[in-house]
Homo-oligomer: A and B are copies of this chain.
Amino acid sequence: MRQLPPLNALRTFEASARNGSFAAAGKELFVTASAVSHQIKTLEDYLGVQLFSRSGRTVELTPAGQQYLVSVKHALNEIEVATHRLTASKETNVVQISVAPNFLTRWLMPRMSRFREMFPDIELQINASVGLLDFNQSSTDMAVYYGGGEWDDIEVFFLQKVLLVPVCSPKLLESGHPLQVPGDLRHHTLIYVSTRMWEWESWFQVAGSEYITPKDSLQLSSSQLTTAAAQESLGVALADLTLTSREISSGNLVVPFDIPLDTRKAFYLVHQKNRPLTVAMKAFKEWLITEIQASDVYGAEHSGSLPGTGR
């Protein structure tokens, strides 16, 4: 037994707030401004709370109205997305994916042409984004997440562990101080991802060395940038071996110490729970998993604790 406000009035409320005007909202909803005014009044009477403050010919959301709007917008958006998903043809060839930036540029992009060869009919609409997304609020179909694999209310498929090794440009290795033991890093610039400052410290632990104070340090906001900086001879960064394998085999990057730090994080393919996948979505998912197994540098080389598939 629910206790809900007049729902149509909510639609009017949201449109009015969005447009900042009853008249404009009326235009959007194909009704007169008067109808909008009536609706808002009905809602305000029901709630017993003033949602808009009127002064002359302008209206403005009250603080209460603003707070309420956030939830109303969110809820209506969810309804809109769900309705669209239900209505839309089950057999579209378009797959919308959201991908962790580093994985996108260093892994997916280089292999896109292979995918398009295999599935010329499927159109991938790709979006780079860090962090989680709400599948109930977005038309995105699938995503590649970076993290611990512990996420609620979504289907999670393990793709690839992230093990970090130090990387630098070959030029740095020639011209600078030699790197024979981890401690030699004290004479170099260490490049940090600013949100993951501890990674170097952990790496030294694994390498069985004291944490050293580097000659210099550089903080960048993403692993994409730190790897690029290492390539530009700005210092030594920690990078995932698989993702940088092209740069390594081409000689743009070298690995001074083949000591991997297991971050216990990984890349995962995720999508909404209990959602029937389209043929295109299935194709992409299976291609991704197959392709990743073929490209995975670790697996055989460094056997670590087995990563779960995320609950």
Contact = CB atoms under 8 A, between A and B. Distances in A.
A132 B276 CA distance: 26
A136 B67 CA distance: 11
Contact of A79 (B10, B87, B152, B206): B10
A48 B84 CA distance: 11
Nearest to A82: B71
Interface string A282-311: 000000000000000000000001000000
Most central of A48, A70, A71, A78 by chain B CB within 10 Å: A71
Interface string A76-116: 10111111111100000000000000000000000000000
Interface stretch (A1-9, A235-243, A248-256): A1-9
Interface residues of A, number: 48
A81 B74 CA distance: 12
Contacts of A85: 67
Nearest to A66: B274
Given A2-B11, A305-B198, A78 B71 contact: yes
A76 B75 contact: yes
Nearest to A87: B47
Interface in A156-178: none
Interface in A210-259: none
A232 B275 CA distance: 46
Given A64-B86, A71-B81, 8 more contacts: A2-B80, A4-B76, A4-B79, A5-B83, A47-B86, A49-B87, A75-B82, A198-B305
Interface of A: 1-5, 7-8, 10-11, 14-15, 28, 47-49, 63-64, 67-68, 70-72, 74-76, 78-87, 131-132, 136, 152, 197-198, 205-206, 264, 274-276, 305
